């Protein structure tokens, strides 16, 4: 099969299109023919090793010192089941599915093996493979943080970085859970963030959100620009900062905030589950959650997709198509 291999850490040019053996599923696995995948901010960070302050050595320890230990990047995918292991009963050959491989990666290829009891679900019938491929990363991250932050109906939520992959998911999911949502984004994205359900939008190029005078029950920081030191006055009494992106010093501050204030900082990686995908699929089929797609690239132009994501201005998701 064809796959893009990350030969070392660095710019998009470290990726090489190569022919590699097609993986073979075990007794409890699925072999999935990938129709569409994505390039996420996570793929960018794993390829470039540009990580938040304090996580450089830890990232090399986990992902590989001189080059990625898992050379085929890509975390999101949608496709069809090509083969199933002898012990698999939940999926059949020909099923349309979507999946999130997370740290296993491997989605920037024509085929992938996933455990049948892993983070895999049947594709929503009303979504294309391209749309379904973009459900997982932003959707599961936002969902997990809202669950950990115990978001309640009627609460006021501020989503910082509302136009990104996680941000666009957070806006839609917060609205589904009955929250009143304000998004923060740049001028060019204001109308899009309104269109996906935000009740109000703050253009950060025109207004410093920390000086807006408004307060919120929940603040979702997907951009890493509103750590507790900057955002504490934006939080109501009992408010929660959901720190999707933060530095190691930000993380180390979490226990101190809980001990010295009546506010909370919730941080740390999200851990997706198959039930999260099934929940997102139900929302998608009900029309309550639709992934925002900025650009689409053919598989052969995956390096160009990485270059675009590297610019840091994508709106929602960048999709790569293998099967038209």
Average pLDDT rounded to a whole number, residues 230-238:
94
Residues 175, 76: contact at Cβ < 8 Å?
Answer: no
CATH number at residue 225: 3.40.50.720
With a cut of 90, say whether residue 85 has pLDDT above it. Answer: yes
| Summary mean pLDDT of the chain | 93
Backbone φ and ψ of 205, nearest 5°: -75, -15
pLDDT at 275: 97
270-310 pLDDT, tens digit per residue, is: 889 999 999 999 999 999 999 999 999 999 999 999 999 99
Which residues, 6 or more positions from 286, have their beta carbon under 8 angstroms from its beta carbon? none
Higher pLDDT, 37 or 59: 37
Looking at the structure of the chain, the number of domains it has is 2
Pair (259, 312) in one structural domain: no
Pair (152, 123) in one structural domain: no
Higher pLDDT, 283 or 251: 283
Best CA proximity match to 37, nearest among 81, 86, 74, 83: 74
Pair (34, 141) in one structural domain: no
Please give the model's pTM, rounded to 2 decimal places: 0.93
Distances (CA, A) of 58 to 52, 173, 243: 11, 31, 19
Q: Decide if 283 is inside a domain.
A: no
Range of the domain at 145: 137-267
Higher pLDDT, 264 or 48: 264
Burial annotation 178-216 (CB, 10 A radius, 16+ → b, else e)? ebbbbbbbeeebbebbbebbbeebbbbeeeebeeeeeeb
CATH number at residue 301: 3.90.180.10
Pair (112, 150) in one structural domain: no
Higher pLDDT, 324 or 181: 181
Pair (102, 25) in one structural domain: yes
Pair (199, 252) in one structural domain: yes
Residues 137, 40: contact at Cβ < 8 Å?
Answer: yes
pLDDT at 65: 67
Pair (147, 96) in one structural domain: no
pLDDT at 314: 93
Q: Decide if 177 is inside a domain.
A: yes
Interaxial angle between packed helices 136-148 and 165-176, expressed in degrees from 0 to 180 and rounded to the nearest 10: 50
Pairing of the two strands 29-39 and 317-321: antiparallel
The alpha-carbon radius of gyration of the chain (Å, integer) is 19
């Amino acid at each position: 099969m064809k796959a893009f291999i990350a030969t070392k850490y660095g710019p998009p040019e470290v990726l090489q299109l190569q022919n590699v053996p097609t993986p073979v599923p075990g007794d409890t696995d699925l072999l999935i023919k990938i129709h569409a995948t994505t390039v996420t901010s996570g793929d960018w960070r794993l390829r470039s090793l540009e990580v938040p302050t304090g996580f450089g050595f830890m990232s090399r320890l986990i992902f590989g010192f001189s080059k990625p230990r898992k050379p085929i990047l890509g975390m999101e995918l949608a496709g069809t089941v090509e083969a199933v292991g002898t012990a698999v009963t939940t999926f059949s050959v020909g099923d349309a599915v979507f999946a999130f491989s997370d740290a296993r990666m491997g989605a920037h290829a024509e085929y992938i093996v996933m455990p049948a009891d892993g983070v895999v679900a049947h594709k929503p019938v009303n979504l294309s493979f391209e749309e379904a491929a973009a459900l997982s990363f932003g959707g599961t991250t936002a969902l997990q943080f809202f669950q950990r932050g115990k978001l309640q109906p009627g609460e006021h939520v501020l989503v910082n970085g509302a136009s990104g992959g996680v941000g666009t998911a957070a806006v839609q999911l917060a609205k589904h859970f009955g929250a009143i949502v304000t998004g923060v984004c740049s001028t060019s994205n204001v109308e899009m963030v309104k269109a996906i359900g935000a009740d109000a939008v703050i253009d950060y190029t025109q207004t410093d959100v920390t000086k807006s005078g408004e307060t919120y029950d929940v603040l979702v920081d997907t951009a890493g620009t509103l750590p507790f030191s900057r955002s504490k006055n934006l939080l109501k009494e009992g408010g929660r900062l959901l720190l999707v992106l933060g530095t190691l010093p930000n993380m180390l501050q979490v226990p101190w905030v809980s001990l010295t204030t009546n506010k909370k900082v919730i941080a740390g990686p999200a851990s997706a589950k198959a039930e999260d995908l099934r929940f997102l699929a139900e929302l998608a089929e009900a029309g309550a959650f639709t992934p925002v797609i900025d650009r689409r690239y053919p598989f052969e132009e995956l390096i160009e997709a990485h270059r675009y994501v590297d610019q840091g201005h994508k709106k929602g998701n960048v999709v790569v198509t293998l099967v038209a």
